[in-house]
Amino acid sequence: MIITMHIGAHCTAGGNLMRGLLKNKGVLGEHGVVVPGPARYREILPDVMKKVKGDPASPATQEMIIDQITETEKCDRLVLSYEDVICVASNVFEGGSLYGKARFKLPWLRNVFAGHEMEFVFGIRNPAGFIPHAFAECGPRKSYEDFIAGVDLHHLRWSHVITVMRDVCPDVPIKVYAFEDSALSWERILRDVAGVRAGVPLAGGLDMLAPIMQREGMARLRAYLSTHKPKNDNQRHRILMAFLDKYANPDEMVEEVDLPGWDADLVADLTERYEDDLYLIEGMEGVTVIS
């Protein structure tokens, strides 16, 4: 059995991902893919991780956990999601690095399912959007300075985080998606995370596009797709782009940033470095970018 686990990052539509997969629970089950509700494992998993730490869980413990999660349902692939498995959003810079706790938390997670194949799913986002949204989850008691923990934003790289993941769990491949592309590639993301072929019909492929398009445009797009089935992902992408160009909701396409010390130059620099980082990630061994 393969265990696919979405592990973050925060503010990259992880909740939407799980809701989309659960929406397709029935059809995925027909293809040997089990998507349990998060309530089944989000309490037990951290406890087991703390107990096993550096030692692989015993076969009996692994079987007990999987039986509890799946309710003994037979499956070829088990898909889980827990974006707080490394840390909560308010602590993403704790210790002076981005998701620094991944260095020991992910080996603990791997040891919980030591007897099974595993893969991680990790969403990334332009730091110019990620940081404001992650900070917004901190609440009023944490200042921006405490949140950022002295990190030099100009040296912030998702590739550094992914390198750590590969170093500490070298047998676990990683599927990466960029939040900025998700509106157009959501169906592909759902399919690749679930590990099903292109011909499997999945609902919810437009769920990330709907919030940034005018209602009229979405209605016209759904009607068009019902009579003009795309032959492949590239054709589907071109259709979605054409409708988005015409019917995009301007109010949803622009993000305002109001953080201490931030200006247009910083946003531009973070964006440029992020785009360069994406190219680097695409070439990393053991990493597949869903695009």
Write out pLDDT tens, residues 162-220: 999 999 999 999 999 999 999 999 999 999 999 999 888 899 999 999 999 999 999 99
CB atoms within 10 A of CB 28: 24
Strand 174-178 with 2-6, pairing: unpaired
Strand partners, 177: 123, 290
pLDDT confidence of residue 155: 93
pLDDT tens per residue, range 79-137: 999 999 999 999 999 999 999 999 999 999 999 999 999 999 999 999 999 999 999 99
**Domains of the chain: which residue ranges?**
2-202+260-290
CATH class of 2-202+260-290: alpha beta
Distance set, CA 271 to CA 128, 129, 274 (Å)? 7, 9, 5
Percent of the chain with pLDDT over 70: 99
> What is the structure's pLDDT at 258?
87
First to last CA, the chain: 26
Scanning 197-282, the segments in alpha helix (DSSP H) are 215-227, 233-247, 250-253, 264-282
Place of tokens 């209605």: 219
Place of tokens 């995925």: 28
Per the prediction, the chain carries an average pLDDT of 94
What's the pLDDT score for residue 251?
74
**Phi-psi category of residue 106: left, alpha or beta, with phi > 0 → left and psi -120 to 50 → alpha:** alpha
Phi, psi for residue 16 in degrees, rounded to 5: -65, -35
3-state secondary structure 30-48: CCCEECCCHHHCCCHHHHH
CA distance readout (Å), 215 to 186, 209, 218, 220, 247: 19, 11, 5, 9, 8
Q: Where do we find the tokens 């099903």?
A: 196
- d(C-alpha 126, C-alpha 106), whole Å: 23
- pLDDT bracket for residue 229 (50, 70, 90): confident
Beta-carbon-side half-sphere exposure of residue 131 (alpha carbons within 13 Å):
30
Q: What is the DSSP string of 17-86?
A: HHHHHHHTHHHHHTTTEE---GGGTTTHHHHHHHHHTTSPPPHHHHHHHHHHHHTT---SEEEEE-TTSS
How large is the average pLDDT for residues 37-66?
A: 93
Q: What is the pTM of this model?
A: 0.94
- Can you tell me the distance from the alpha carbon of 159 to that of 280, in angstroms, rounded to the nearest whole number? 7
